[in-house]
Every structure is written in structure tokens, then in C-alpha cells.
Amino acid sequence: MSGIDTRVLASRYRLLNPLAEGGAGTVWLATDETLGRDVAVKEVRLPPDLDPVKRQELFASALREANLAARLKHPSIVTVHDVVIDQERPWLVMELLSGASLERTVRDRSPLPAHQAARIGVGILSALGAAHAAGVVHHDVKPGNVFLTRTGKAVLTDFGFAVADGEATSGRTGHLVGSPNYIAPERLRGERGGPASDLWSLGATLYFAVEGVPPHPAESPIAAISRVLTEPPRPPERAGELGPLLTRMLHPIPEGRPSFEDVARSLGELAAGRTPAETPAAPSVPPPSPGPGPGPAAPVSVSVRPPEPRLSRTALWAAVETAGIAVVVAVTFGVTFLLTSDPTAAEKRVRLSESPGAFATPVNVCELIPGAMARQLLPALAGEGKPTNDGGCQWAARGMGLEVRLSGGDQWGKSPRQAHELFVNRRQSVIPSGENAWSWPEIQAGIRSSRSTAPTAVKPAGDEAFGYDVYENRKTGRLEQSYVVVRVDNLVLDVGYTVVDGSKDGPAIQAGAHTTATWVANALNKQKASG
């Protein structure tokens, strides 16, 4: 154990007690004394006898993890708030999650039923889609890096080994990192790997979830490497209808694996308790020649899992353990994601440019809706909107409020196609849930229990838009929040209207959200036209 006692990092983060510990460090429960919230702080432990080169590699890895994770905003990707350098070592400040890793859940209890593993797969595949759309390959998808919260959400953690497009890897290719049972064969062969490698690792992770063992069980890392490179996966025994999909995901050659679209479609059907439709078989690709046996054992990293809970403005996702809850997912990564009868509708409506969009530098979101305009929906509003620390803006009055927030990380200078892919992933992340928790003190809304709806079609706003609603769950059952997610050129924003005092009915709240989204879209289009 680290032995640090109620220490304060950066005059802000007070360490309270250890939550988890591994060979690479300790995860602490801490309090952010500036914002008054609990966080998880990952202490990256550097052995005192570590040579300067290795020390610098571990230091750089922690900073890379913070930088890459900070670029990715997705409900199934752990949020990294800050990185602090203290006593010549990095500390990562992350959101606090409550639950346990998939690895611990399976080992402490039992393998999961196929439909539950499929629901986990839906969330993690969506997270990977968001990462890949941002040019980031995770490279370490495994059961220890999939965290299952007590509210039923699967969260992808630990981007310490992730690689971004265009990033030089010459300083890290001399040794392999990760857990051999969950590293795709091409990476074990020394190739860089790409999104298909993450897909293989997800297949191996879901295999462990339903079988309780990895697809290539072995007694040692060397044996695991040998089996992954030279043998087919162990035939699944408990996976049921999930088994054939896992077998396809675990094909030894990337080109032989199914597409992300096919995997997402099949997982969505299985999660909903339906038999997945047959998908076209991947092209027949001969397995690689075994070649010479594996070389010296690759170092195996031990990653630390971020735990425990927080309540925030963002809803905590509902438990989806109850039988009969349908998770309806229809996905096409990279080009189109629609919950409509026409899977090509978005491509027919818009022509998605690959060139940088109109918004190359940050926009002052608060200026998109002047106070006088906002008061049409918030009569008691005093003053203008207040910027949020994530680049958005809130207009708060007693009992009601408006908010506009960026739906992803740094969108400035991205192309309309990249924004469309972000819109795709944002829509997939809206899953109907049984119970959410949220609060908004500025409008006198304490912690509330609510349930959200699936994404729905809305009247046109911007280039693309969809909506969803949040209903009060325990007392009145009334609609209290309505959101419209809108894309304008290369920006995607969540626009919300909240009324908790009962002064407006559901249709009025929905209309208010759409009106606000239209104001935002018109203001952005005006800025775009003016150059």
C-alpha cells in the first residue's frame, strides 16, 4: 500500500482511502475540494530502482492515457478529469465509478448469460466506435479493463496503451504490452494493429464473460501467446447463440472478422433476447502460417481498475439486468447510424465532406442564445448564460433551465464526416433505461430519480437531429427534461430544456427543447455564412 495519508495533490485533490491496488499503482478515493465532488485518483507507481528510460516510458504512458481519454466523450468511456504531477510522478484524476470489473465479476460469481454479455458488448463496441472515429485504437481491451457499474453500465477504462492516428510508436514497439490472452494475433506477430484488433480483443473479452475462461486457456503467458498464434479458439460451451458471433470475431486474420456494423447488429439482437439475423460470412481467408515459435515472453502489464460512484449532471445509467428490457440497436459505424426504416436516409440528405468544417476555432456557446431570447422559455432568468467547464453553457432560473453542451471532445477543425460519425455514436449511446440519477442545484433540482427514452425522430434542426426525453421516475411520472442532439456542419451539440416545477406539460417541454435547438442551429449557420 502506498502509505500516503490524507494527502492533498495540486492543492485540490484530497486522498481519502485506497480503493484498489495492483502492480502498476493504486486507485484512491479522493475529494475534489474545488468542485466539491468525489473522484478516483490513479497513482502511477514507479519503482525506486527503475532506470531512467523505463521511468520516462511509464511517465509518458500515463500522460498519453490522460490526453487520449480526455479527447473521448462517451457514456461507456471512463472520464479523465485531470492529470497531476506530484513528486515526479503522474496521478490521473478520473470519474468515480461504483461496481467491479468484468474480470472480478466473473471470477467472484460465475460466467454471465449470453444476453447480458451481449448488452456489455453493445456498450463497449459503441465506446470503441467513438474511439476509432477519433483516430484512437485502445490496444488493451480485456475483462480487467471493462468496468460494470452498479447501475448496469459497461465502461471501457485504461487508455494507457492506446495509439492515436499518426502517433509515432518507435519508442514502444520493442516490447509488447497487454495480456496475451486478449491481444489479437496480428499484434502478437509484431504488427501495429488497428480497429479490427480491438474487435478481436472484445470478442475474447465477451468469450471470457460467458465461458469463464479466455478463448485460448493456457498456464503461462508464453503458452497463451503460442496458442493464440497457432490454434483455433476453444469451442464455446455456454455461449449459446452468442457463440457463432464470438467465433467470427476471433478469426486469426483481421480481414476474416465481421464488420463493426454486423457485430453491433447481432449484439443488439441478442441483448434484446432475439435470435440475430444471419449476416454475410466474411471472406474466406487462410490462417497464417505458424512460422517459428514465439520468441521471449512479452511483458504483461497489470492495469489498475477505476472504481466507485458519483452523481453528476450526467445521468447515471440504469440497470439493465431485468429480463424483458429490449435494447434496440441498429448501427453503421463510420457512415450512418439510424433508427429509421431507411438505413441510407442520412446519406441521401447530406453530403459529408472530408475537409475541415466551418468551425475551426471554439465558439462561445453562451453567445448563441442571448438572455432576452432565453427568457422566452425561462421568464425568471436573470442575466445571460453561464459557461460550463466543458465548453458548453447553461441558462438557469428557478425550477427550469436550458443547456447546450458539446456532444464530444475537441470538435473544432474536424470534418463534417467526422461530426456525422460522432452524431452516430451519440445516438447509439442513448439507450432506454429504468432509473437515472441527476441533479441541478442552480434550478433548485436536488437528486432525482428518472428514466430516459430511446432516441426519436424530431422536426429538422441543423443538418441532422434526434431527440430523447427524461421522465420523473418515482413520484409524478411526468416528463421533466427533453433533449435534441443536433449536428451543424462539423459540430454536434446536446440541447436540453428542463422544467421541474410542474409549470409545463410534456409537449411544451419537448417544443422548448426543439425551439432551443433551432435557435442554436440558426445561430451557428449564421456564423458559418458570415465566414
Cell of 9: 495533490
Catalytic residue list contains 86? no
For residue 84, what are the β-bridge partners?
91
Distances, alpha carbon 37 to alpha carbons 4, 307, 443, in Å: 20, 15, 19
Cβ within 8 Å of residue 150, ≥6 positions away: 98, 99, 309, 319
- The 3 state secondary structure assigned to 415-448 is CHHHHHHHHHHHHHCCCCCCCEEEEEHHHCEEEE
Q: Please say whether the beta carbons of 480 and 508 come within 8 A.
A: no
Q: What's at 320, amino acid-wise?
A: V
- The 3 state secondary structure assigned to 112-176 is CCHHHHHHHHHHHHHHHHHHHHCCEECCCCCHHHEEEECCCCEEECCCCCCEECCCCCCCCCCCC
DSSP 8-class letter at 460: -
Cell of 125: 463496441
Q: Please say whether the beta carbons of 141 and 205 come within 8 A.
A: yes
Q: Residue 146 CA to chain centroid, in angstroms?
A: 11
Query: Looking at 32, 140, 262, 463, which residue is catalytic?
Result: 140
Report, in angstroms and rounded to the nearest whole number, the Rg of the chain calculated over CA atoms. 23
> What is the rounded CA–CA span in Å between residue 131 and residue 157?
12
Sheet holding 146-149, edge to edge: 99-101, 146-149, 154-156
Q: Residue 114 CA to chain centroid, in angstroms?
A: 22
Cell of 369: 442564445
The set of long-range contacts for 349-356, using a CB threshold of 8 Å and a minimum separation of 24, is: 349/463, 349/464, 350/416, 350/420, 350/463, 350/464, 352/415, 352/416, 352/417, 352/420, 353/415, 353/416, 353/417, 354/415, 354/417, 355/415, 356/413, 356/414, 356/415, 356/490
Distances, alpha carbon 462 to alpha carbons 343, 459, 482, 506, in Å: 20, 10, 17, 23
Other Cβ atoms within 10 Å of 11 Cβ, number: 9
> What is the rounded CA–CA span in Å between residue 417 and residue 490?
8
Q: Could you tell me the maximum CA-CA distance found in the chain, to the nearest angstrom? A: 75
Query: Cα dihedral angle (446, 450, 454, 460), rounded to 10 degrees?
Result: -40
> What is the rounded CA–CA span in Å between residue 395 and residue 344?
37
Any idea which residues carry the catalytic annotation?
140
